[in-house]
Amino acid sequence: MSPARLVPGAVLLAALASGDAHAGRPAKGPLLPPGATAWQSAGTGGIRGITIGPIESSLHADRGYGSAACGRTMTEARRLGANWVSLTPFGRVLDLSPTGIDPTFEAPFAVNRRAVAKAIRQAHAAGLRVFLVPHLWVETGQWRGQIDPSTDDGWKRWAVAYRRFVLAWARVAEAEGADMLAIGVELRSFATTTRAPLLTGIVADVRRAYHGLLTYAANWDDVLDTVVLGDLDVIGLNAFFPLAKTAGADLSELRKGGVEVADRMRVLAETWQKPVLFTEIGYTTRKDPAIEPWTWPDAMTGVVIDQRAQADAYTALLEPLLDAPWFAGFFVWRVYSDPDDMSQEAEWGFSPRGKLAELVVRDAFAARWAADGPWSRRGAFATPKATGVGLF
């Protein structure tokens, strides 16, 4: 039986007792209790997630989503302590003034759709819930958040194309029982401007096609300006927060940055009365990764590889969040669908696999979080003694 989609605790328990993981789930409407602590109140546990990226070359056959190699990655994620995975199918646009979206990504859309569907089934078979996150890939290498078709007619054409793209993946999510869906990733020009009503209409259309939880992956520095948060179940953001301003910051300095991030996120959750989810977190494996952590590995030269710096950045960001009842969890950015394929990212890239940062993630996953619900003894939260580097 695949993991149940998230529903209020009593309904979920009744469904599991009857042997039907989806029984009692409302056909429409929110699937969480109201309020900033909704995730905790649902009683389903914090999201301990890992993003599994596709293999970004058609030359690597039988290593992408749904492959036997992908199944090994699912097993690795479960052994690490993850209870969710994120899958990121891409569509292509030519530049920042697109008229449409090509759903082909290294393979025809029909092939990718079947592969993603199989990967969802693999994850469920491994005991993992699934977050499906349709992404846009800009062929010019520019940032998707700057897409601007310029004219009113151009934006209307773009909205039609984007609606078609995200609905295609929403139908896959619905058919395969994916547990949560993102309606977009870092669409700053769409989600934070006067064009946002076009995106709001798309959210409504997705709601009719998909009946699981909805979120949107805002960028860390524009989530406060994101207009569509009120239409979602969970506030999502890609949390590449800088934790320091000057080179050589030690762990104590990074921790101060982490506390500042937590304080800002608490205000966000309380303002919107919705839990906060970090749809991506990550720091590259280099000296001072907490300064401009969004810098892409492929753009770097003369890199000084530093596993400890990466691990310290993870520690500083996560420590103040795990005791926050408004924090639903996070997804590590990222590993790949073939765990043995080292060609997808430079050694100084984001992946924590096989590095000190993996031990930090393992300890964080093993800890007890506020989002896991009340601890039955002493009326408090308890954190078991962790293994690894012992930072949590």
pLDDT value of position 184 = 98
Residue 143 lies in a domain: yes
Residue 237 φ/ψ, nearest 5 degrees = -155, 145
pLDDT value of position 30 = 53
Structural domain count of the chain: 1
For strands 84-87 and 327-336, give the pairing: unpaired
The more confident residue out of 342 and 221 is 221
Residue 384 lies in a domain: no
Residue type, 152: D
Residue 166 lies in a domain: yes
* DSSP secondary structure code for residue 102 in this structure: B
Query: What value does the mean pLDDT take over residues 155-168?
Result: 97
Residue 390 lies in a domain: no
Looking from the CA of 341 toward its CB, the CA atoms found within 13 Å total: 23
- Asked if 152 contacts 187 with a C-beta cutoff of 8 angstroms, the reply is no
For 114-148, the pLDDT digits (tens) are 999 999 999 999 999 999 999 999 999 999 999 99
For 16-37, the pLDDT digits (tens) are 233 333 333 334 445 799 999 9
Lowest mean pLDDT among 33-37, 175-179, 378-382: 378-382
- CA 16-37-227 angle, 5° bins: 110
pLDDT value of position 163 = 98
The more confident residue out of 324 and 8 is 324
Where in the sequence is the domain holding 227, given as residue range(s)?
Answer: 33-372
- pLDDT band, very low/low/confident/very high, at 9 (cuts 50, 70, 90): very low
Residue 24 lies in a domain: no
Residue 258 lies in a domain: yes
Whichever domain contains 320, its CATH number is 3.20.20.80
